[in-house]
Chain A
Amino acid sequence: MRRLIVIASALLLLTLLGIAWQEAHRVKPVALTPTLTGKVEYCLSCHGDLAQISKSHPVQTFGCVICHGGEPLALDKNLAHSTLRGGANPSDFSVVQASCGGSNCHSGTPESYSDHIQRATTSIQATYAGAIAVMRYAYGAQSGKGALFGVNAVQDSASTSGITSLGAFDPAAETNPQLQLFGQNCLTCHLSAQPMQNGGRYDHFTGCAACHTPTQSTDLTSVNTRTATSVHELTTAISYTQCDTCHNRGNYDLRTMTFIPRTDQPTDRLHDYYQPIGQFTTCEVALDCIDCHTRTEAMGDGSLYGSKYDIQYIQCQTCHGTLTQLPQTKTLTDPNDLAFRLAGLNPVVNLQLGDTILVTSKGEPLWNTKVLPDGTYELVGKATGQVFKFKPVMGSGCQQDPNDQSSASCHKCHSVQR
């Protein structure tokens, strides 16, 4: 009996020691009560070393849970992560409404310039509707090139483009084997597609983070160590290298319906920017894509489209004008002008009331430009901060064809030689 009591006492002590050891090694809780939610969360107990994601989303204001989901009070990793939205990426389009939506956040009205989710999820980059339509037309599955399907089904009852809905493209339902192959092998570069490789030059997130989370280093001479699992950053200063994760990876072989990746390994911008067959002007290679292409071209305008040519409209003349017309400009007189909002998010320029900037033919502000007193223009690179000065075509010796304002026409004289 006495022996049993001793054994029981020993077991009790061991149990208590075990509990004490566990307690001593438990994560020390670090509480945060974000201004926006007013509810305590303990995510920083483990993630206190993460960099601030952007100056627009300070952790003291937003916390973590409002975007990422998860269990705010849990200290156990598995429990805390059990209800995360989108894994490490709450901006994936499958969860973006819950993560990034809200009338004061990214699913507000066009008038408040906060309809980002509606625009992005209906954009041609998200639906891939143009490629699907062209392929189905080419292989006889539909009689015209009009968009009928997207990667996912999507509705837009307020569409101004005439397309109010797209069905979900189902490759298995196609009778032509080429279209089945297309569905299996070629739907790899819409905004919901997982990257074709993890790490390296073409790694990216999905959803909003595909563009706004820089997984690419702009230093081409080093191995890219930023990956779509390690980067915690959101930016509107998007380098061309991020666009290249989809737009410059290689080409599709439409006979075999396979993707053929680039094999060259460029170490300078001139050779990296475009594939060897491409023609481009100095400004096309010196600037980043977003220096010219506007927010609606990249993210859509909220309506469904069947081709990139229906939404992409920037031309050389947008900034340079023609022989008979100067580019369109606008003097900023309203403090609530969209130009100020956009410049505020990426302050590479210090826009002031009274400044005159270039605008597109649709009236979109090219907020990183300025008309200078001598009639020339200045553009500040949104990703690089580099200042570029340029002149209008009018009054120059340019021999442009007024009726052909495509970039190909300008390339005839202004193409960069490599």
Chain B
Amino acid sequence: MSESKLSRRDFLKLVRTALLTASGVIGLGGLLRFLSYQSQPAAPDEFDLGLASDYAPGSRTVLPQVPALLVRSETGFTAISLVCTHLGCTVESGPDGFACPCHGSRFDAKGNVIRGPAAKPLAQLRVQATPDGRLHLFVH
């Protein structure tokens, strides 16, 4: 029966290879993590709201992702920003207008100021229909 005996040189070589391989794997992992880092995307300027036909005539739809209120009237689509012009809180939409829960500003249904501290009306946002019947809303 023959006994295989690892020489000291081979043992050190094996250990060295194992250590360097492990280091390489860890280093590669770190490199991949670094390269795959994605910074936070900037807030979008444009929102795809889906098909225009999804919004019934006379409907008022709150779009929390914008935030805005999309209104479909007889003449078409309009959108009002729900960002309060005082300090930027999100205003709440009611039947008669908008109310800011932060500091009590009130706006009429068209977004005009009824009560401060806000001094400017809510922003009107541009809504555009694409040839394939989709709605796009532009924040700026």
Contacts and interface: CB of A to CB of B under 8 A. Distances in A.
Interface string B22-55: 1100110110000000001001000000000000
B115 A340 contact: yes
Contacts of A104: 86-87, 117
A343 B106 CA distance: 13
A345 interface: yes
Interface residues of A, number: 38
Given A55-B101, A61-B102, A341-B104, A36 B19 contact: no
Contacts of A55: 101-102
A33 B101 CA distance: 20
Given A55-B102, A58-B102, A112 B117 contact: yes
A10 B20 CA distance: 8
14 contacts: A9-B16, A13-B23, A13-B26, A16-B23, A35-B83, A35-B88, A55-B102, A60-B90, A61-B87, A61-B88, A104-B86, A112-B117, A336-B115, A341-B117
A277 interface: no
B103 interface: yes
Interface string A1-34: 0110110011011001101100100000001011
Interface residues of B, number: 30
A112 B12 contact: no
Interface string B74-117: 00000000010011111000000000011110100000001111
A194 B65 CA distance: 44
A2 B88 contact: no
A340 B114 contact: no
Given A6-B19, A12-B19, A345-B104, A19 B114 contact: no
A135 to B, nearest CB: 41
Interface in A311-336: 335-336
Interface of B: 9, 12-13, 15-16, 19-20, 22-23, 26-27, 29-30, 40, 43, 83, 86-90, 101-104, 106, 114-117
| Chief secondary structure at chain A's binding surface | helix
A25 to B, nearest CB: 15
Contacts of B26: 13, 16-17, 20
What are the 9 tightest A-B residue pairs by CB atom distance, in nearest-first order?
A344-B104, A9-B19, A35-B88, A335-B115, A16-B26, A36-B88, A13-B23, A2-B12, A61-B89
B15 A6 contact: yes
A104 B85 CA distance: 11
Contacts of B16: 2, 5-6, 9
A336 B117 CA distance: 8
B44 to A, nearest CB: 13
B7 to A, nearest CB: 11
A37 to B, nearest CB: 9
A197 to B, nearest CB: 35
Contacts of B117: 104, 112-114, 341
B20 A9 contact: yes
